[in-house]
Amino acid sequence: MSAPLASLSGYRRIVIKIGSALLVDRASGLKKPWLDAICDDIAALRQKGVEVLVVSSGAIALGRTVLNLSPGALKLEESQAAAAVGQIALARHWSESLARSEIVAGQILLTLGDTEERRRYLNARATIKQLLSLGSVPIINENDTVATTEIRYGDNDRLAARVATMCGADLLILLSDIDGLYTAPPHLDPQAEFLPVIDEITPQIEAMAGGAASELSRGGMRTKIDAGKIATSAGCAMIITSGKPMNPLKGIDNGARHSWFAPSATPVTARKTWIAGQLQPAGTLVVDQGAETALRSGKSLLPAGVQDVSGQFHRGDTISVVGLSGREIARGLAGYDAEEARRIAGHKSREIEALLGYAGRAAMIHRDDLVMTETAGKTGGSNQRDEAHA
Ligand code: GLU
């Protein structure tokens, strides 16, 4: 079992996600002293040879302050306008603050398609790697001015996890307004216990994440745990800690409270990481217990074990596989279009030719294109840090 490193400088490449509420004050706008302090932390890491990428929220929050928009939920076009105004200011502040340490910032604005379509994903990855090799710190956000509801990440927690896996980071840090994961939302349950080390994101751990989100931040604990699943399954550790104090990265090294999520001991290949991290699978297959057991032992998914097919997908699209309990257990690339999948579901592979009129492939999802997204779920979180060191 891996354990947290003694210092952040032990990591090679770190993605830091910063929530809007940390950077932007509703009344006064950008919190410049806080930004300068985190840029000092980033400069210190860079000096120790750690590559740093920042996923910065705050465009919409900053823009709405500048534009003096009324409090409460914004309409899509209002938040897009706010982002247009806020992002330009946000990027300038980052660039100026990092320049104090002679670090060059590079802005990257992503839309969902940039990580969900394989070709665009490879392209975005190449740009990010180039920026890093030139010694720049990428400042990344969702391209909120063009993203519409159907094609947006919507929260920067999962975007940051996608960025972390895309660039092969070994640590993702989510700076939040809460210092880590508790057994229950601490503001609702006084008995809630803090979890410093999470060895594996089991269904029990997922259940601990409440859904709450503040007005300035889109993601609650739920999206942070989703981010953790994406990151850890790709072999990237994750830390959740409070970004409220000044110099929160230095704070982690000095023992500030945080939850550390262990990277998977058997990370899947880069291609499977991409499959598992897809944010919007195009369809769902419900499989029986026999098929679920076969998948868990590394076999392909055959049509015989499929009980139900939903969604409109084409061969090669990512689809979700759920067990009879309704929980997702795997994801994979469809071997058939949805229509064909419906026709052959529940049938033996040798019947495929008669059903479709041609000899198709034997598997609904081939095992090379399949990745388990949920473990059988035996272990819970450990709240004994020492255990992880043992
Ligand atoms: N992309 C949004 C912004 O910059 C923030 C999304 C989030 O807070 O997760 O305003």
Question: Residue 315's closest CA among 336, 300, 331?
Answer: 336
Within a 13 Å sphere around the CA of 265, how many CA atoms are in the beta-carbon half? 6
Burial of 157 (C-beta count, 10 Å sphere; 0-12/13-18/19+): buried
Tell whether ligand 1 has an atom less than 6 A from the beta carbon of residue 56: no
Mean pLDDT of the region 70-90: 91
Domain-located, residue 4: no
φ and ψ of 25, to 5 deg:
-100, 130
Q: Is 341 in the pocket of ligand 1 (CB under 6 A)?
A: no
The answer to whether the CB of 261 falls within 8 A of the CB of 232 is yes
User: Do 13 and 133 share a domain, yes or no?
Assistant: yes
What pLDDT, in 10s, does the model give residues 1-13?
Answer: 578 888 999 999 9
**Closest atom of ligand 1 to CA, residue 219:** 9
342 and 373 both lie in a single domain: yes
Which atom of ligand 1 is least distant from the CA of 217? 8
Does 59 have pLDDT greater than 90?
yes
- The pLDDT confidence band at residue 227, using thresholds 50, 70 and 90, is very high
Whether 340 is in the pocket of ligand 1, judged by its Cβ within 6 Å, is: no
Cβ–ligand 1 distance for 61 under 6 Å, the answer yes
Domain boundary among 265, 294, 322: 265
Contact 332, 301 (CB under 8 A): yes
Structural contact between residues 322 and 286, judged by C-beta atoms closer than 8 angstroms: yes
Strands (E), 227-334: 237-242, 258-261, 283-287, 306-311, 318-322, 328-333
The residue among 137 and 116 whose pLDDT is bigger is 137
Within a domain: 138: yes
- 302-347 pLDDT, tens digit per residue, is 999 999 999 999 888 899 999 999 999 999 999 899 999 999 999 9
Do 212 and 316 belong to one domain?
Answer: no
Q: How far is the CA of 370 from the centre of ligand 1 (A)?
A: 31
Which tokens hold the place of 389?
């060191």
- Are 145 and 189 found together in one domain? yes
CATH number for the domain including 372? 2.30.130.10
For position 388, what pLDDT does the model report? 27
Tokens standing for 151? Answer: 């094609």
Q: Give the residue-averaged pLDDT of 116-144.
A: 89
Nearest CA to ligand 1 atom 2: 57
- Asked whether residue 242 falls in the same domain as residue 305, the answer is no
* Residue where one domain finishes, among candidates 245, 265, 285: 265
Average pLDDT over residues 69-86: 90
Domain tally, the chain = 2
Give the domain CATH number at 205. 3.40.1160.10
Residue 20 beta carbon below 6 angstroms from any ligand 1 atom: yes
Task: Report whether residue 144 contacts ligand 1, using a CB cutoff of 6 Å.
Answer: yes
- Centre of ligand 1 to C-alpha 363, Å, is 40
pLDDT band at 211 (very low <50, low <70, confident <90, very high): low
Expressed in angstroms and rounded, the spacing between residue 65 Cα and the centre of ligand 1 is 14
* Domain around 162: 9-265
The string of pLDDT tens digits covering residues 15-34 is 999 999 999 998 889 999 99
Q: Is 353 exposed, middle or buried (0-12, 13-18, 19+ CB in 10 A)?
A: exposed
pLDDT of 352 higher than 80:
yes
Whether residue 166 is found in the same domain as residue 275: no
The number of residues making up the chain comes to 390
Residue-wise pLDDT tens digits, 178-188:
899 999 888 88
Q: Whole-angstrom Cα distance, residue 201 to residue 379?
A: 9
Amino acid at 26: R
Ligand 1 atom nearest to CA at 159: 9
